[in-house]
Amino acid sequence: MDEFELISRITHNTYNRKEVKVGVGDDAAIYSARTEFNEIVCVDTMVEGIHFLTHFSSPSEIGYKALAINISDIAAMGGIPKYYLVSLAIPSTWREEQIDEMYGGMKDLAKLYHMDLLGGDTVSTEDKLIITVTAIGEIEKGKACLRSYARPGDTVFVTGYLGSSAAGLSLLYKECKIESDALRQYFLQRHKKPVPRVDVGLICSRYGRVALNDISDGLSSELNEIAEASNVTIEINKEQLPVHPELKKLGSKWEEWVLFGGEDFELAGTIPHEVWDDFYKECEAAKIQVYPIGHVTKQGVSKVFLNENNHAEILGKKGYNHFKQR
Amino acid sequence: MDEFELISRITHNTYNRKEVKVGVGDDAAIYSARTEFNEIVCVDTMVEGIHFLTHFSSPSEIGYKALAINISDIAAMGGIPKYYLVSLAIPSTWREEQIDEMYGGMKDLAKLYHMDLLGGDTVSTEDKLIITVTAIGEIEKGKACLRSYARPGDTVFVTGYLGSSAAGLSLLYKECKIESDALRQYFLQRHKKPVPRVDVGLICSRYGRVALNDISDGLSSELNEIAEASNVTIEINKEQLPVHPELKKLGSKWEEWVLFGGEDFELAGTIPHEVWDDFYKECEAAKIQVYPIGHVTKQGVSKVFLNENNHAEILGKKGYNHFKQR
- How many residues can be counted in chain A? 326
> What does the pLDDT read at residue A317?
84
> What does the pLDDT read at residue B178?
94
> What does the pLDDT read at residue A9?
52
CA dist A323 → A46, A47, A67, A178, B87 (Å): 12, 11, 19, 21, 20
Residue range A229-255: average pLDDT? 96
The span from the CA of A168 to the CA of A174, in Å, is 10
Chain A contact set for B35 (CB, 8 A): 35
Residue range A62-81: average pLDDT? 98
Under-70 pLDDT residues of chain B: 1-13, 319-326
What is the nearest CA distance from A180 to chain B, expressed in angstroms? 36
Given a cut of 80, is residue A148 above it in pLDDT?
yes
Chain B contact set for A83 (CB, 8 A): 41
What is the nearest CA distance from B255 to chain A, expressed in angstroms? 25
Mark yes or no for CB contact B136/A89 under 8 Å: no
Fold of A147-325: Phosphoribosyl-aminoimidazole Synthetase; Chain A, domain 2 (3.90.650)
> What does the pLDDT read at residue B7?
46
The span from the CA of A226 to the CA of A224, in Å, is 5
Given a cut of 60, is residue A47 above it in pLDDT?
yes
Residue A264, helix vs strand vs coil? coil
Written as one string, the DSSP assignment of B45-107 is EEEBTTTB-TTTS-HHHHHHHHHHHHHHHHHTTT-EEEEEEEEEEE-TTS-HHHHHHHHHHHH
Neighbours of A311 (CB within 10 A): 9
Which of B3, B12, B132, B133 best probes binding to A when mutated, by most A CB atoms within 10 angstroms? B132
Given a cut of 60, is residue A11 above it in pLDDT?
no
The span from the CA of B30 to the CA of B199, in Å, is 27
Task: Please give the sequence-ordered ranges of beta strands (E in DSSP) within A161-308, or none if there are none.
Answer: 211-214, 232-237, 267-271, 291-299, 304-308
Neighbours of A322 (CB within 10 A): 15
Mark yes or no for CB contact B83/A41 under 8 Å: yes
- Facing residue for A43 by CB, picked from B50, B120, B124: B120
Mark yes or no for CB contact A83/B41 under 8 Å: yes
User: Which percentage of chain A shows pLDDT scores above 70?
Assistant: 94
The answer to whether A51 is annotated as binding is yes
Mark yes or no for CB contact A44/B87 under 8 Å: yes
> What does the pLDDT read at residue B127?
83
Mark yes or no for CB contact A126/B49 under 8 Å: yes
The answer to whether A120 is annotated as binding is yes
Given a cut of 50, is residue A121 above it in pLDDT?
yes
What is the nearest CA distance from B64 to chain A, expressed in angstroms? 18
List CB contacts of B310: < 8 A, sequence separation 6 or more: none
Question: Structural domain boundaries of chain B?
Answer: 3-140, 147-325
Given a cut of 70, is residue A269 above it in pLDDT?
yes
Residue range A64-87: average pLDDT? 98
> What does the pLDDT read at residue B13?
57
For A273-292, what is each residue's pLDDT tens digit? 999 999 999 999 999 999 99
For A173-190, what is each residue's pLDDT tens digit? 999 999 999 999 999 999
Mark yes or no for CB contact B137/A28 under 8 Å: yes
The span from the CA of B131 to the CA of B120, in Å, is 11
Which superfamily, per CATH, for A3-140?
PurM-like, N-terminal domain (3.30.1330.10)
